Amino acid sequence: MNKPSIALTIAGTDPTGGAGVMADLKSFHACGVYGMAAITSIVAQNTKGVQHIHNIETQWLKEQLESIFNDELPQALKTGMIASKEMMELIQQYLKKYSDIPYVIDPVMLAKSGDSLMDDDAKSNLQNILLPHATVATPNLPETEEITGISIKDESSIYQAGNIFINEIGSKGVVIKGGHSEDKNKATDYLFTKDNVYTFEEPRYETKHTHGTGCTFSAVITAELAKGKSMYEAVRKAKKFISLSIKYTPEIGQGRGPVNHFAYMKKVGLDDE
């Protein structure tokens, strides 16, 4: 039996399973990748919002990462909710030591409910500590504005923001996601690399059930990079994956329900269409 590709997520929890580590592991599985996880925060949340956040001690995160990296190296890793500068600096040590492992950063700042998942200090440290090491960063439009200081009004400002990520911050790639745009018919994502800009379009579906879209999208990119796919191929699949996940939501919860992490698996299969 061939050894499976392995992806690691470093993020917070969601007890209802729609976002965070739980969504990441489901997405890894749906992509045919073995998932490992290290917990940064224990979050009491559901489809109606975030009720409480308990950030674990950095030492506990260190012990988890030591257990993982002393046993089996992942082929790619991603970070989601990282609550403090100390956690970021700890993760940065691993990113420097294992710089050949692709790293995807989902700069999680707000839950779909609008609840803040990161304090102001942590937001400012993302740009200096983690983003320069990113193989791919996956900010949505509000996160892009927060990180770059640019008001996203049109495609020109998206290009300006992409340039900041690549040429000023130092990320190798960034996907500026268009889910928050005002286009009612389609959602367009922009992948910026050092040499190229690519766009990915999918139909926009009218639904409130989009809890965990950012986690899921970035997890699929991570899984595909773990399998040795190119940045373009990974983002292309992630865009199709998240579109189907939104189209076939399971309608769970009383608020903003989760997406369907297995829609792609059922509609397309493990291999690319």
Q: Which of 213, 216, 222, 249 is catalytic?
A: 213
Q: Which of 9, 16, 148, 210 is catalytic?
A: 210
Instruction: Compute CA distances 223 → 99, 113, 197, whole Å.
Output: 17, 27, 22
The three-point CA angle 57-223-251 to 5° equals: 80
Annotated catalytic, 207?
no
- d(Cα 230, Cα 226) in Å, to the nearest integer? 10
Which residues in the chain belong to E strands, given as ranges?
6-11, 34-39, 41-46, 49-55, 76-79, 103-105, 136-137, 173-176, 186-193, 197-203
Annotated catalytic, 213?
yes
- d(Cα 102, Cα 226) in Å, to the nearest integer? 8
Q: Which of 17, 18, 214, 257 is catalytic?
A: 214
Annotated catalytic, 12?
no
For residues 225 and 75, the answer to whether their CB atoms sit within 8 Å is yes
Indicate left, alpha or beta for 137 from its phi (over 0: left) and psi (-120 to 50: alpha).
beta
Annotated catalytic, 215?
yes
For residues 227 and 5, the answer to whether their CB atoms sit within 8 Å is yes
Annotated catalytic, 13?
no
**2 Cβ partners below 8 Å, 6+ apart?**
none
Q: Which of 112, 177, 229, 239 is catalytic?
A: 177
Per DSSP, helices labelled H in 140-230 are 141-148, 155-163, 213-226
Q: Which of 162, 215, 249, 257 is catalytic?
A: 215
Among 206, 202, 208, 207, smallest CA distance to 264 is for 202
Annotated catalytic, 162?
no
Q: Which of 12, 17, 18, 212 is catalytic?
A: 212
Which residues are marked as active site?
177, 210, 212-215
